[in-house]
Amino acid sequence: MPSFDEFISESRIFKDRDVLSPHYIPDTLHFRDHQIRELMSSLAPALMGKKPRNTFIYGKTGTGKTCSVKQVSRKFDEKAEGKARIVYINCRIHNKPYRVMLKVAKAVMEGFDKQGYGLPHIYERLLEWAGTGKQVLIILDEIDMVKNLDELLYMITRANDELEAGGFSVIGISNKLLFKEDLDPRSKSSLYEREMVFPPYTANQLQKILHQRAELGFQPGSFTSGAINLAGAIAAQESGDARYALKILSRAAEMAEEADKGKFTDAEVKAARELVELDIVREAIDKLPENHQVVLYAVARLSLSGSRYARLDDGDDGYLFSGEIYEEYTSLCKKLRKPPKTARSYRSYLNDLEMLGLLTCVESGKGIRGHTKLIKLGHPPRELMKIVSKHLEE
C-alpha cells in the first residue's frame, strides 16, 4: 500500500524548487543591469510627480523582460511614498480594456470593488484618483494579447489630456517586435513611447545564470558542473531562452530523483532536453491566438499530405509555398465557420510562429514560382496536429 511518506521525505537533490521556477526573481539579475538602469531612468520622472514616457519592451521568451520589470517595480514602490503607483497586469488573464482598468482601479483605490459598474464609471473614478497629482504606471505584460488594444490605449492617452495634474503611463511587454503595426495610426501617434530590446542570452551568460540558480535550488553535490554548462549550451543553441534552460535542469533533476540517484549529470540533461522540447511546444501553442493555431494546423496538415504544387527543382526538403498554406488556412476557417483573416494578417502570423520556433521561413530563389516565401514545420506534424486540434475542437 503506497504511503505519502515516500513522497514528502526530504529530497536528496532539490533544496528549493521555487528557485528553479521561471517566475522566481533573484536579488541579482545577471546581464540585465543595462536594461534595468534604462528602465529605472525611464520611470524615474513619476517619482518626482511628472509623467514618464510610455515604454515598450521587446524580446524573445526567456530573455529576462518580466523579471527585470518586476525587480524595477519593487524598487519603484520603495521610493514612491504614495506619490505614484505601479500596477502589474498579466494580459493573458486580463485581456480586455474593462478587465485591465478594473484591475488598475482595485490596485490603486483602497476598497474599490465595483464589478457591477461599467467601464465609463471605472474610468471616471480613476481620473478623480489620479487628478490629485498621482502618477499611475500600468505594466501590460504580453500587451499584444489585449483584445481591442486600440480602445485601451486611446482611453489611457485621453485620460492624460483631461488631467491637469497626475497622469497615466504604459509599460508594454511583448515577444513580438512588430505588434504595433496592427494598431490604429491614431493610437500609434499618441503613444510617444520609448523602446527597449532584450537580446537572447549567450551560452556563457546562461551558464552563469544556471550556476546561480543551481547553488540556491539544489543540494550540495547533487549535480555536476558539466551538466549545468551543458544545459546552458543547449538553450543558447536553441534560442538563448533562460526559461528553457531552467526547465531542462529541473527535468534532469527529477529524472535522477525518480531513478533514485543522488546526482544528475550530462546523461540526464540530454534525456531531459527531448521531454522539455515537447513541453515548450505545447505551452507555446496553448498561448497562441486561434488564427495562429489554424495557420499552424494548416502547415502541419500540408506537411503530411505534401505540397500540391510542382517544384521546379523537385527538391524534397519539406518546404511548402506560403500561398498554398494560405489556401489551406482559409479552407480550414470555412470548416470552422470562422472568417479568414487577410493575407497581410496571415503574413504576420507566419512571422510570429517563426519567432516562436514553430516554423522556419526562407525566401525562395529565382525560378521557383517567382519570388515567394517557403515554409517548413519546426516539429513533427502529427504531434503538432494533436496539440492544436484539442484547442480547435473546444
pLDDT tens digit string along 249-283? 999 999 999 999 999 999 999 999 988 988 888 88
Beta bridge partners of 193: 54
- 8 Å CB contact between 36 and 71: yes
Question: Three-class SS of residue 184?
Answer: coil
* 236 found inside a domain: yes
The number of residues in the chain equals 394
Distance from C-alpha of 279 to C-alpha of 387, rounded to nearest angstrom: 11
Closest CA to 19 of 300, 209, 265, 275: 209
What is the span of the domain harbouring residue 321? Answer: 290-392
Q: Do 189 and 211 belong to one domain?
A: no
pLDDT tens string 120-134: 999 999 999 999 999
Output 348-351 pairs: Cβ under 8 A, ≥24 positions apart.
Answer: 348/178, 348/181, 348/182, 349/291, 349/292, 349/295, 350/295, 350/322, 350/375, 351/178
Banded model confidence at residue 313, pLDDT cuts 50, 70, 90: very low
% the chain with pLDDT above 70: 92
Range in 53-57, 74-78, 146-150, 361-365 the model is least confident about: 361-365
Q: 232: domain CATH number?
A: 1.10.8.60
pLDDT at 312 over 50: no
* 339 found inside a domain: yes
State the total domains in the chain.
3
- State the pLDDT at residue 314: 45
Q: Do 215 and 263 belong to one domain?
A: yes
Q: State pTM to two decimals.
A: 0.79
Cell readout for 202 is 549567450
Closest CA to 137 of 69, 187, 201: 69
E strands within 153-277?
Answer: 167-174, 193-197
- State the pLDDT at residue 356: 80
Closest CA to 142 of 119, 112, 175, 118: 175
Range in 179-183, 329-333, 356-360 the model is least confident about: 179-183
pLDDT tens string 219-248: 999 999 999 999 999 999 987 899 999 999
- State the pLDDT at residue 287: 82
Q: Do 46 and 190 belong to one domain?
A: yes
| Arithmetic mean of pLDDT over the chain | 89
Question: Which string of b and e fits 322-350 if b means at least 16 CB within 10 Å?
Answer: bebbbebbbebbeeeeeebbeeeebebbb
- What does the pLDDT average to over 11-15? 94
Torsion sign, CA atoms 185, 187, 191, 194: negative
Last residue of a domain, one of 197, 229, 256: 197
- 8 Å CB contact between 346 and 375: no
Banded model confidence at residue 315, pLDDT cuts 50, 70, 90: very low
- State the pLDDT at residue 115: 64
Q: Do 246 and 173 belong to one domain?
A: no
Q: What angle do CA 307, 313, 314 make, to 5 degrees?
A: 45
